[in-house]
Amino acid sequence: KAGVTQTPRYLIKTRGQQVTLSCSPISGHRSVSWYQQTPGQGLQFLFEYFSETQRNKGNFPGRFSGRQFSNSRSEMNVSTLELGDSALYLCASSLDREGYTFGSGTRLTVV
Amino acid sequence: GQQLNQSPQSMFIQEGEDVSMNCTSSSIFNTWLWYKQDPGEGPVLLIALYKAGELTSNGRLTAQFGITRKDSFLNISASIPSDVGIYFCAGLTPRDDKIIFGKGTRLHILP
């Protein structure tokens, strides 16, 4: 079965812009989590969605938001981009909090 | 906040050697997960542990959920070149069901 699909794979944006990243989970998975990965901070939890509701949230500013659609696909939005937002953004899906499967990520570069 | 201390940060070993890495925390976790990440890809789940004291194997990999629920280790036996990568431990917090990741162990295999 198809894995977790993240689009786009690479993105370059300028400071102040906003960006939307997309994640399609494995078919049947209802939980989607988002993570930011940077060399200095490692993998940091952004938020988790389950059945279109945000179930959990990490310690990121309000510029980071997300949503989940009825088909479990999820989008993450970052507004007013800063240089420090450059990172690999990963999403992971699971049936319900077990055996999370990650996508290949979206590499965001803010210039 | 809850943190996972993963060690060592990096390892240089000869092909064929056994490898051991671990994660410790001052907090307890309900679930321990071990992932491997190759360059340019998302982490791939290797082993999931759901019960204190549980010892689970996946081929040459063996992981254990510590009896205190505050630690876990991963062993790789008879390492081969494709074992190169970054290994992450992750724990699911009992209070708010968040996944916390360790900073990773980078495994290098010398020719």
Q: Do B92 and A99 touch (CB under 8 A)?
A: no
Structure confidence at residue B111 (pLDDT): 81
Beta-sheet strands, E only, within chain A: 5-7, 10-13, 19-24, 31-38, 42-50, 53-57, 64-68, 74-78, 87-94, 101-102, 106-110
Structure confidence at residue A76 (pLDDT): 98
- The CA distance from B101 to the nearest CA of chain A, in Å, is 6
What contacts A16, CB < 8 A, 6 or more positions away?
A80, A81
Structure confidence at residue B95 (pLDDT): 80
Q: Which of A104, A83, A82 lies closest to A21, judged by CA?
A: A104
Report the phi/psi class of residue A53: left, alpha or beta, with left for phi > 0 and alpha for psi in -120 to 50. Answer: beta
State the best of A4, A7, A55, A100 to mutate against chain B, taking most chain B CBs within 10 Å. Answer: A100
- Please, what is the end-to-end C-alpha distance for chain A in angstroms? 37
Using the Cβ of B50 and the Cβ atoms of chain A, whether some distance falls under 8 Å is answered with: yes
Q: Do A43 and B1 touch (CB under 8 A)?
A: no
pLDDT values of chain A reduced to their tens digit, one per residue, 111 residues: 579 999 999 999 999 999 999 999 999 999 999 999 998 778 999 999 999 999 989 999 999 999 999 999 999 999 999 999 999 999 999 887 667 899 999 999 999
Is the predicted pLDDT of residue B1 greater than 70, yes or no? no
For residue B39, say if its preceding peptide bond is cis, omega within 30 degrees of 0: no
Structure confidence at residue B97 (pLDDT): 75
What contacts A107, CB < 8 A, 6 or more positions away?
A9, A10, A11, A88
- The CA distance from B15 to the nearest CA of chain A, in Å, is 26
- The CA distance from B95 to the nearest CA of chain A, in Å, is 11
The model's pLDDT over B80-97, given as tens digits with 9 standing for 90+, comes to: 999 999 999 999 888 877
The model's pLDDT over B20-77, given as tens digits with 9 standing for 90+, comes to: 999 999 999 989 999 999 988 899 999 999 999 999 999 999 999 999 999 999 999 9
Contacts of A97 in chain B (CB under 8 A): 31, 92, 97
Quick one: tokens of B98? 């968040």
| Phi, psi (rounded to 5 degrees) for A85 | -80, -5
Q: Do B98 and A102 touch (CB under 8 A)?
A: no
Interface size between A and B, measured as CB pairs under 8 A: 52
